[in-house]
């Protein structure tokens, strides 16, 4: 959907938005500027302005300068030693046991710790922690987890999960919270989800609310509520599926995504997946459009069309050529989320931001 009119009033006017504008205009601010009282007490003198230089003796000035220099030097050394991150850090509290930020352990009775950019949070087999991020959400950290804060603030909040399990509950705008794993980048698109990474770097993402985007280079997956998606190092995200799919369906999908199958085996696996796909497995089948070999894409298209008829503007030929606009139109037809959110995030996001 073109939202130029909503954005800046350009483009073709949207009648629904125009009606909302005219209806809500009665609440618009119309007030005139009041008569402001005299602004008293300004300009307020800064700290150093309160001391008139003319009143200083040379000796006092020299002594003060020396003290200030030593204090500044001390603070600098202290900050370098501790790599302090106040301001950019996130508050971490212990839920149980003694998690560590870098080498500093903290417990329930020692208050919150600060996880600064570049620092690592580790929980052992007995400890759990909780990160609260103002205006972003909360992240619960399970035992045996290791994560790092890669970036924080300014609409760009990024963790790296090296291993373990986190539960993220995010209320920030879509795309503002991301989690790196060794095998894919998880992008919050408005959701609550659980992300697990094992020691090999393989991951599993399970969405509880909203939806999540999973990405490795050009490989992407959208995981709506109730769905699961696995990732593997050097391969990236597999094909998402709803967690109530049959065991047979899931096993075959795992083979299709990650096993070193021969072309014939792969073709057999794809046929089995398509045959077993239920109506709601259109989620999985849509993803297979881009993952199936070109020679098999026609059969995926046919199955997808029986589950969710292609909307206007989507043609078989276009899909067989992986026309991005048509794929997006068809995705939106599933009612699982507006893919334009993802495209906006993609345009605005760059790994260099970190």
Partner 1 sequence: MTTTPAPETTGDSSLVLAAREGDRTAFGGLYARYARMVHGILLARVPASDVDDLVQDVFLRAMPKLCDLRDAARFGPWLAAITRNRANDYYRQTRAVAALTESLPEDEEELPASNTAPDAEAAVILTFVRCLPDAYRETLILRLVEGMTGPEIAARTGLTPGSVRVNLHRGMQQLREKLSQVSRGGAIPADSDGGRNSAAQKKNALRRRNEP
Contacts with partner 1 by CB under 8 A lie at 3, 5-10, 13, 16-18, 20-21, 23-29, 31, 33-34, 36-44, 137, 154-155, 169, 171-176, 189-192, 209-211, 224-225, 336-338, 340-341, 344-345, 347-348
Q: Closest approach of Cβ 208 to partner 1, in Å?
A: 9
Taking CB atoms within 8 Å and a gap of at least 24, the contacts of 341-346 are 341/174, 341/175, 341/189, 341/190, 342/187, 342/189, 342/213, 342/220, 342/222, 344/175, 345/174, 345/175, 345/187, 345/189, 345/213
Nearest to residue 286, comparing CAs of 310, 317, 261, 258? 310
Q: Closest approach of Cβ 333 to partner 1, in Å?
A: 14
CB nearer to partner 1: pick between 243 and 251: 243
The DSSP string of 213-241 is EEEETTEEEEEETTEEEEEETTTEE---E
Between helix 324-333 and helix 282-291 the angle, nearest 10°, is 170
CB nearer to partner 1: pick between 23 and 295: 23
CB nearer to partner 1: pick between 143 and 153: 153
CB nearer to partner 1: pick between 44 and 81: 44
Q: Closest approach of Cβ 329 to partner 1, in Å?
A: 16
Residue pair 304/281 in contact (Cβ under 8 Å)? The answer is: no
CB nearer to partner 1: pick between 138 and 267: 138
Q: Closest approach of Cβ 137 to partner 1, in Å?
A: 8
- 3-class secondary-structure state, position 50: helix
CB nearer to partner 1: pick between 144 and 173: 173
DSSP conformation class of 200: T
- 3-class secondary-structure state, position 330: helix
């Amino acid at each position: 959907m073109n939202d130029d009119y909503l954005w800046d009033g350009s483009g073709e006017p949207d009648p629904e938005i125009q009606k909302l504008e005219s209806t809500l205009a009665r609440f618009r601010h119309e007030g005139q500027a009041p008569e402001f009282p005299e602004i008293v007490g300004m300009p307020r003198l800064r700290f150093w302005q309160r001391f008139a230089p003319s009143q200083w003796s040379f000796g006092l000035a020299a002594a003060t300068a020396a003290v200030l220099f030593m204090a500044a030097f001390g603070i600098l050394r202290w900050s370098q030693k501790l790599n302090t991150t106040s301001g950019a850090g996130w508050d971490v509290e212990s839920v149980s046991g003694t998690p560590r930020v870098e080498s500093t352990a903290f417990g329930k009775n020692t208050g919150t710790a600060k996880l600064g950019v570049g620092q690592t949070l580790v929980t052992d087999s007995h400890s759990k922690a909780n990160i609260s991020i103002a205006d972003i959400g909360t992240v619960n950290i399970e035992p045996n987890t290791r994560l790092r804060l890669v970036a924080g603030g300014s609409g760009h909040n990024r963790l790296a999960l090296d291993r373990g399990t986190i539960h993220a509950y995010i209320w920030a705008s879509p795309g503002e919270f991301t989690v790196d794993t060794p095998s894919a980048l998880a992008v919050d698109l408005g959701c609550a989800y659980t992300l697990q990474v094992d020691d090999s770097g393989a991951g599993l993402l399970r969405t509880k609310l909203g939806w999540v985007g999973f990405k490795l280079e050009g490989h992407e997956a959208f995981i709506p509520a109730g769905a699961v998606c696995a990732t593997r190092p050097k391969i990236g995200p597999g094909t998402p599926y709803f967690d109530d799919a049959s065991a047979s369906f899931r096993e075959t999908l795992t083979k299709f995504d990650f096993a070193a199958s021969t072309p014939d085996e792969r073709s057999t696996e794809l046929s089995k997946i398509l045959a077993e796909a239920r109506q709601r497995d259109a989620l999985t089948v849509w993803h297979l459009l881009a993952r199936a070999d070109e020679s098999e894409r026609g059969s995926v298209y046919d199955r997808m069309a029986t589950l969710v008829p292609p909307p206007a503007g989507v043609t078989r030929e276009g899909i067989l050529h992986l026309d991005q606009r048509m794929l997006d139109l068809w995705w939106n037809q599933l009612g699982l989320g507006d893919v334009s959110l993802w495209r906006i995030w993609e345009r605005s996001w760059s790994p260099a931001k970190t």
